[in-house]
Amino acid sequence: MCVLEKLARDMGAITMDQKSLWAGLVVLLLLQEGSAYKLVCYFTSWSQDRQEPGKFTLESADPFLCSHLIYSFASISDNKVVIKDKNDAMLYQTIKSLKTKNPKLKILLSIGGYLFGSKGELDFINLLSFDFHGSWEKPLVTGHNSPLRKGQLDRGTTSYYNVEYAVGYWLNKGMPAEKVVMGIPTYGRSFTLASAETAVGAPASGPGAAGPITESSGFLAYYEICQFLQGAKIVRLQDQQVPYAVKGNQWVGYDDVESVESKVQFLKSLNLAGAVIWSIDMDDFTGKSCSQGPYPLVQAVKRSLGSLGR
């Protein structure tokens, strides 16, 4: 017999005032159970090969930071799951250590990557609501990686390139809100400007310059963005509730503490299951680059979510 059933049975033997007290307690317990959110955090196998301060190893991870940790990526070979990690023995021991420190932590394995394809029967679905704009688009103009809402200048198909539309699409197609975990990125997409124009929709000649650590053109981790922001012009898009920054001919749209807090309030207003982070190894996990403490974006999401669980 569960605790709530026992409470309900025992209420028959107590006074009316006591019944009211116990009824209130039952409601409180139910509310507390229902208010717990998932904070699902991906971490990537290749981040351990980066130079400092981007070198991320699971040994230094906070076991209480997230409700779920997902290792990316494993593959399937000869009908067997294969982890192609040069330190797979150490990875296994580290996972055991994290679970010992926090038995409630759920650690999962992600198979494949975005080209792999998958089928599932969706316990929850990680909705990767980012990469709405980037250097692959034609004609190439600046656009934000993960805007919360439609921009004032968005027309036609670009009206769909935002978090609000993506979440609404899944809900309108029948996905239960309590199974949707909404994506929040810890990186930005960058462009090289082709003219003196710097606003959203400005012409671009190609991807932005590669970051010194991630070394991928058109892409900057948050710890690289913090360095880029020194001396840059920062603009907050009031309609899309996200910032972008310009320095010279470089343009980057990104998320910061304020924008991720807005996104969490949005997902809570729809009673979604929680937030999924891609990825914790691109947040300023050391706290050395942004002067905001370790994991400033993930911690902001966690604070805004409140109680974790489910």
pLDDT of residue 16: 40
Give every CB contact of residue 64 below 8 A, 6+ residues apart in sequence: 101, 102, 105
Same domain, 54 and 10: no
Tell me the pLDDT tens digit for each residue of 12-57.
443 444 444 333 433 333 333 445 999 999 998 889 889 999 999 8
Q: What is the pLDDT of residues 223-257, one digit of tens each?
A: 999 999 999 999 999 999 999 999 999 999 999 99
| pLDDT for residue 86 | 64
Q: Is 196 among the domain residues?
A: yes
Query: Is residue 133 domain-shared with residue 68, that is, in the same domain?
Result: yes
* Segment among 26-35, 170-179, 188-197, 260-269 with least mean pLDDT: 26-35
> Is there a single domain that holds both residue 163 and residue 261?
yes
129 and 111, same domain (yes or no): yes
CATH number for the domain that contains residue 53: 3.20.20.80
For residue 154, is it within any domain? yes
Here the tokens at position 264 are 């969490």
Q: Say how many C-beta atoms besides its own lie within 10 A of residue 288's C-beta.
A: 12
Do 184 and 240 belong to one domain?
Answer: yes
Q: Is 119 inside any structural domain?
A: yes
Q: Are residues 274 and 189 in the same domain?
A: yes
pLDDT value of residue 120: 43
Which among 41, 57, 63 has a CA at the least distance from the CA of 91?
A: 57
Q: Which residue has the higher pLDDT, 299 or 44?
A: 299
Kindly state whether residue 100 falls inside one of the protein's structural domains: yes
Assigned domain for 232 exists: yes
**Mean of the per-residue pLDDT values for the chain?**
86
Number of CB atoms found within 10 A of residue 218's CB: 20
Across 108-134, average pLDDT: 75
Which two structure tokens, joined as six digits, stand for 288?
């050395």
Do the beta carbons of residue 239 and residue 150 sit within 8 Å?
A: yes
Number of domains in the chain: 2
**Does residue 26 sit in the same domain as residue 69?**
no
Residues 6+ apart with CB under 8 A from 273: 37, 38, 124, 177, 178, 179, 180, 181, 310
Give the residue-averaged pLDDT of 6-16. Answer: 39
Report residue 93 CA to chain centroid gap. Answer: 26
pTM: 0.83
Q: What is the pLDDT of residues 73-104, one digit of tens each?
A: 677 777 776 776 666 667 778 888 899 999 99
Residues 43, 87 within the same domain: yes
Residue 256, pLDDT score: 98
Candidate ranges 16-25, 86-95, 117-126, 192-201; pick with highest mean pLDDT: 192-201
Find the domain containing 7 and state its range.
3-30
Integer Cα distance of 265 and 269 in angstroms:
6
Lowest mean per-residue pLDDT among 43-57, 103-117, 185-199: 103-117
| 21 shares its domain with 160 | no
Instruction: Report if residue 204 sits inside a domain.
Output: yes
CA distance 163 to 172: 14
Phi–psi pair at 189, nearest 5 degrees: -105, 135
- Phi then psi for 178, rounded to 5 degrees? -75, 0
In this prediction, residue 148 carries a pLDDT of: 98
| Shared-domain flag, residues 14 and 153 | no
Q: Are residues 14 and 160 in the same domain?
A: no
pLDDT of residue 113: 55
310 in a structural domain: no
- Give CA–CA dist 249/304, Å, rounded: 35
In a domain, 96, yes or no: yes
Alpha helices, DSSP H only, in 125-249?
A: 163-172, 222-228
pLDDT digits (tens, 9 = 90+) for 147-174: 999 999 899 999 999 999 999 999 999 9
pLDDT value, residue 282: 97
Same domain, 150 and 12: no
Q: How far is CA 290 from CA 45, 155, 224, 233, in A?
A: 23, 35, 9, 16
> Roughly how many angstroms between the first and final C-alpha of the chain, as a whole number?
21
Confidence bin at 309 (pLDDT 50/70/90)? confident
Residue 74 has phi, psi (to 5 degrees) of -100, 175
Rg of the chain, C-alpha, whole Å = 22
